[in-house]
A and B are shown apart, each in its own frame.
Chain A
Amino acid sequence: MRKTVFIGLLVCLVTLSVPCRAQRGVFLTPEQFHQQAFAGQGENQILWLDGDQLQQAQRILGHRFPGIRTRYVAGGTRTAWIFDEIGKTHPITIGVVVEASEIVQVKILEYRESRGGEVRYDSFTRQFIGGSLIEKQPEPKLDATIDGITGATLSVRAVKKVATLALYFHSLTPVAYSDTLAEGSLP
């Protein structure tokens, strides 16, 4: 009798959960992400990183940045970045769009951890919108209040690191330089 109830309950759960969004898997391809950000107007670019910049990236991530350059897409005053960052044991593919030195979008493109998929919900990612870089020593920090997801601390931390890194890399691009010139804040 107990087994029957148990199996019945399981079948109900699986049936009920059909409308639930996937917790793991690919949610957005890089092409779709760029299409959303630039409507096909973006151009592929490469940002080469010198020793100091790689060191700064390492401070932001808490580990070595993989490579000596990074690819991004630029269009108008926007740049879009995609990075893989490990949450607990698996890399999370995270996309960040920056415009005028502020985050305008954060998207989880692929989530591979077995728990913590809540970081893909809009209720979490929209907290990053408007976030900017605040100059601090030894490394710049994300100027935004981000409430975490309990039980997904490491995934939350990974998204925050990538958002900070995207803002920092944006500040190194010609797009950011022309922004600064337009604002007239350079001597």
Chain B
Amino acid sequence: MAERDAAIATKDNVATRTSRADVGRAGSQMSTLILGAFVVLVVGILAGTLLNERELVRLFKLDQHFDKESTLLDGVTATVNTAVEDLKQQYAEAFADRVGLKMKEEYHAFSPVLLLPGITSTALELWQGKECASEQFRKKFWGSESMMRNFVRNASCWLEHLGLSNEWDDPENIVLRASEGFSASDFLFPGYFVWAKMLENLRDVGYEPRNMHLLAYDWRQSLEDLESKEAFWEHMAGMVERLRNRNHARRVYIVSHSMGGVLAHYFIHWASHHKGDQWITDNVEGWINIAGPLLGVPKTISAVLSGEMRDTAEFGMFSKQVIGAIFGNDLFVRFFRSLGSLPSMFPSGSPKVWQAFHKAPLLRVQESMKEEASTESHSEATKNVSEPGSPPRRDMILDEPLCKRTDLQETVAGSEYSTATIYELLGKVAPRYFALVQSHYAHGSSGPETVGSLSKKWFSSEQNPLPGAAELKITCMYGVLQSHTTEVGYEYSIDADADESATLLSINTSVSVPEFNLTKGIYNGRGDGTVPWASMVYPCLKWKYGGLLINPARLPVSIREYLEDPSKLSLLDKDYMRGGKYSVGHVEIIANMDVMRDVIKLVSLPLDKPEAKPTLLEDVFATDANDIFEKLHPGRKVGGEE
């Protein structure tokens, strides 16, 4: 199989996606897995029955603890004791290594902190479910070990529950709600930390529920729906006021991660509009924006177009395997289109910017060669509706009209789409979905002129100058990996198998050009593995150096880049699997030692200077982002004092 795959890959752009090969591979994986489990079982039983005590002892080297008189039990206890001692030792070391613990002597909590997690990081509880998820009342459906169990039990049921409806509402008889408190977002599932380490370190310098609040929310809702269904922004404003009230009228620091940054951006505009800039000045000290994708993430486009991406929005290989391998393509696409929050991260900004930072097209559709359509590989949805009937034929799952291949061939094949034009493509292949998106978000330069309410634009850093609250301090923190491993663009092709379908487009996995960082149809660029570099740095640079049009009140902005340093990764690191304690990956950066140190420095005050005021830290640039920005805006002086 592998040889065949390789052969296909080397043959340049011929779109031959052989479903047979895929099926074969999946089958062999599955049976290998089952076989493996079986063998382990047999070996276990054999070992249990055949080996006697003495052999066990020899096998596991228990005998080094043996005196002649001692029994097996003593040996075991001795082993266990050494293990416990080792663990204690390790624990002590890890303890001593905590950055908060070191800083405890010098710093103490000052500004109250409001934490805003990103997409997929908040647990969702099941309040009502269909039959396949009965007896799960108020269990965490997303964000706990039972998530895995549910998934294994019935994957399609799981996906059905997790998604919203096509109209971005609760599906019939399914109610999922965000869980509450710190435990909603500390671990995604046991052992996989999200905010846990940050919380612990903040605790070390004196943070606790009285001066810190984690605002969990339903990350599937569109930003507009968060307001209309949950009064979320009211809630957030209330929490800010309460934190301030409780802490000697000290102003609150908002710390956001990932999509939380988009929410924070929305919030300051919401507050500026509803409560006035004075409210912000009175209540908000600053905003720490950790890895916020303020120009969006290209993979949201591929997700809603074809349900594909290198991994899902945030959680790496885990989700990819979970979601990708098992569901039908259509269901998967529907899931992504049902997430109202996703369009808030559609790539935006001028194509020039993306080109300058990443030198890759956002999306290109290739001309596909006509091949004989194999009758078997029609997707199920197509089968359902392809019987001759009324003229406008629709895909029932996605609720979209079907596209004709020949039609697409003529219009989109061969064209290249940028952040400015991508909406044309969306409008063409998914008109219903696109109309829904437009009713919630005004994606600026896109397509027809959107005359929406003001609030539809608040998510976008492109369309809004910063508010006039001059004392709001903004810090952008993000990681940049050494390797080019962040998705920035896609090569698409038109499915040659079907004549008519709602999901005719898919990533052309047969194209790989190493010189362009193009692997299997995906252009990779710099970034933190999930969010491209441009999306994290450009808005911040623009605020900082873009002049009065974009930052009329001259809010102070500081930018801190964290470059991946492989030399800091040691094999002994407890979090080796997550990239070590200096990892700058999209999620791992919340637990990066440097980031935690800087966050603590920002929100707390040194003990020896009780009169001090919170100040910003200096900029740290590890990349040439400044130069790129200067080239983009020749008139702007970058780097010096403004």
Verify that A and B bind, or say they do not.
no
Interface residues of B (CB under 8 A from A): none
Interface residues of A (CB under 8 A from B): none
